[in-house]
């Protein structure tokens, strides 16, 4: 009697096992799918919470730090305000990864490669100088990542490739206005020109200045070159002093420019000889370095600190509160640029490169520089006009 009972029991298990196996497998598969779904959801949440990474290559050390630090300040102030307003994409705020180029072309290129390949930024701001952009910009073009120059004013910047933009007003738009204004205001007839021959923006500025002077019918009595690293300009200025000019146009960066101003007055070139400069002079550091010798310097700009506009006044007040000093043109351009980029990211609804590129081309921004759009060639298309300034009592003010 016991043996049949064991046989029946065995038979029952033989029938139950195949019946239960599909259910077990189904349960196991469900658990696996649930785990995968949970992991995917967590991954999506993690990605949604990751900031949108922007790269910035600026001269934060060395002679060009006077530009690069102001630019970084402008970016950081804008970053605070943008992130305080909300997310540029759902669950994602902006983050800027900075690299110091120190004004060196090779260093700028290496910084660009790092930001693109290792940090995988969605866009790049800078570099500071046109020289650096000519060296580093092609890497952004190759990777098809938008790169926006905020202070690169030389001719040919956007010719580097279709992924290069700039918010800086080209020298070709500014210098002719400066030259025409100076000629009319001071009745100039005979001038000399000086320029740095080792810097792309200075050489470009000189070429534009020379063409503008010729177009205005000014006689160019002398053209003198020097390096941005030079500290002695006495030979060039002594020659110019003997030519009886009534104006001297200088295309260079701030430090060398301040040196030219100082030595010109020290050598006895009188204040009635008008000194006017290129975009590199648009820094309060010129007056700090040159002191009284900077008085009367004239330069054109798309922006100045005393602009009577509510947006600009709010920007100046916020900048002064954060940094304890007034902004300069380079800080203002940087400030507007980050808003332009943030708006493009939101408008694109994505960080995908082609969508962001298309969104940038559709920019229609009202900022501290005034209304701003890009041309089809990715240069500034609209501003409220060029303002010609002079240094009075150590500060820039509109030319009377």
94-108 pLDDT per residue, tens: 999 999 999 999 999
Q: What is the pLDDT of residue 385?
A: 77
pLDDT average, residue stretch 316-342: 97
Other beta carbons within 10 Å of 13: 8
Answer yes or no: are the C-beta atoms of 382 and 364 closer than 8 Å.
no
Cα angle 82, 85, 90 (rounded to 5 degrees) comes to 90
Q: What predicted TM-score, i.e. pTM, was given to this entire model?
A: 0.86
Q: How far apart are CA 276 and CA 247, in angstroms?
A: 8
What's the average model confidence in pLDDT over 334-356?
98
- How many whole angstroms separate alpha carbon 14 and alpha carbon 35? 32
pLDDT, tens digit, 9 for 90 and up, residues 274-295: 999 999 999 999 999 999 999 9
Residue 291, classed as helix, strand or coil, is helix
Q: Quick check: 180 and 161 in contact, CB under 8 A?
A: no
Distances (CA, A) of 206 to 131, 190, 264, 275, 296: 15, 16, 19, 14, 20
Provide, rounded to the nearest whole percent, the portion of the chain with pLDDT above 70: 87
pLDDT in tens, 108-133: 999 999 999 999 999 999 999 999 99
Token digits for 55? 């790269």
Using the structure block, give the residue that is written with the tokens 């060296």.
135
Axis-axis angle for helices 329-348, 65-85 (nearest 10):
40
The confidence score (pLDDT) of residue 240 equals: 98
Phi and psi dihedrals of 123, rounded to 5?
-160, 160
Q: Name the token pair of 25.
A: 């497998």
What the block records as the tokens of 226 is 């020097």
Identify the three-state secondary structure at position 271: coil
Residues 6 or more apart whose CB falls under 8 angstroms from that of 184 comprise none
Mean pLDDT over 318-324 rounds to 98
Would you say residue 43 has pLDDT above 50? Answer: no
Task: Please enumerate in sequence order all residues whose Cβ is within 8 A of that of 112, keeping only pairs 6 or more positions apart, or say none.
Answer: 55, 57, 99, 124, 127, 136, 137, 139, 140, 147
Edge-to-edge strands, sheet with 164-166: 94-100, 52-58, 123-125, 147-149, 164-166
Span between the terminal Cα atoms of the chain, in Å:
123
Average pLDDT, the chain: 90
Residue 191: count other Cβ atoms within 10 Å of its Cβ: 26
Q: Is the pLDDT of residue 31 over 60?
A: no
* pLDDT value of residue 49: 79
The proportion of the chain whose per-residue pLDDT surpasses 90, expressed as a percent, equals 84
CA dist 333 and 169 (Å) reads: 9
Cα(180)–Cα(209) distance, rounded to whole angstroms?
10
As given in the structure block, the two tokens for residue 377 are 């060639």
**Which residues, listed in sequence order, are joined to residue 374 by a DSSP beta bridge?**
380
Quick check: 151 and 71 in contact, CB under 8 A?
A: yes
160 contacts 127 by C-beta, under 8 angstroms: no
Token output for 51: 């900031």
Domains, in order of start, for the chain:
52-169+306-385 (3.40.50.2300), 172-301 (3.40.50.2300)
Tokens of 253: 């960066």
């Amino acid at each position: 009697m016991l043996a049949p009972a064991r046989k029946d029991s065995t038979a029952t298990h033989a029938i139950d096992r195949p019946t239960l196996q599909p259910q077990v497998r189904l349960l196991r598969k469900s658990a696996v799918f649930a785990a995968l779904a949970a992991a995917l959801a967590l991954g999506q949440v993690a990605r949604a919470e990751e900031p949108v990474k922007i790269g910035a290559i600026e001269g934060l050390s060395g002679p060009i730090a006077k530009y690069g630090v102001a630019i970084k300040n402008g970016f950081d102030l804008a970053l605070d305000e943008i992130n305080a307003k909300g997310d540029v994409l759902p669950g994602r705020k902006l983050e800027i990864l900075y690299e110091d180029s120190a004004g060196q072309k090779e260093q700028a290129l290496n910084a660009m490669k790092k930001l693109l390949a290792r940090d995988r930024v969605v866009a790049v701001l800078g570099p500071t100088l046109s020289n650096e952009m000519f060296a580093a910009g092609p890497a952004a073009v190759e990777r098809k990542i938008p790169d926006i120059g905020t202070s690169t004013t030389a001719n040919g910047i956007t010719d580097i490739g279709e992924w290069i933009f700039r918010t800086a007003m080209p020298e070709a738009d500014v210098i002719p206005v400066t030259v025409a204004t100076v000629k009319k205001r001071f009745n100039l007839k005979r001038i000399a020109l000086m320029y740095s021959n080792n810097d792309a923006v200075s050489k470009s500025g000189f070429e534009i200045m020379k063409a503008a002077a010729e177009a205005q019918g000014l006689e160019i009595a002398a053209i003198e070159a020097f390096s941005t690293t030079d500290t002695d300009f006495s030979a060039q200025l002594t020659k110019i002093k003997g030519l009886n000019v009534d104006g001297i146009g200088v295309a260079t960066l701030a430090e060398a420019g301040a040196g030219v101003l100082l030595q010109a007055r020290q050598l006895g070139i009188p204040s009635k000889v008008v000194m006017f400069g290129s975009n590199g002079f648009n820094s309060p550091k010129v007056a700090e370095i040159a002191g009284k010798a900077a008085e009367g310097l004239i330069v054109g700009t798309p922006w100045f600190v005393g602009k009577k506009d509510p947006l600009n006044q709010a920007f100046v007040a916020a900048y002064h509160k954060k940094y304890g000093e007034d902004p300069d043109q380079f800080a203002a351009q940087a400030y507007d640029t980050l808003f332009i980029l943030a708006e493009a990211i939101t408008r694109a609804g994505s960080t995908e490169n082609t969508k962001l590129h298309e969104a940038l081309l559709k920019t229609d921004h009202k900022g501290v520089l005034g209304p701003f759009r890009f041309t089809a060639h990715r240069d500034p298309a609209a501003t409220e006009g060029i303002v010609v300034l002079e240094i009075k009592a150590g500060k820039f003010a509109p030319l009377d």
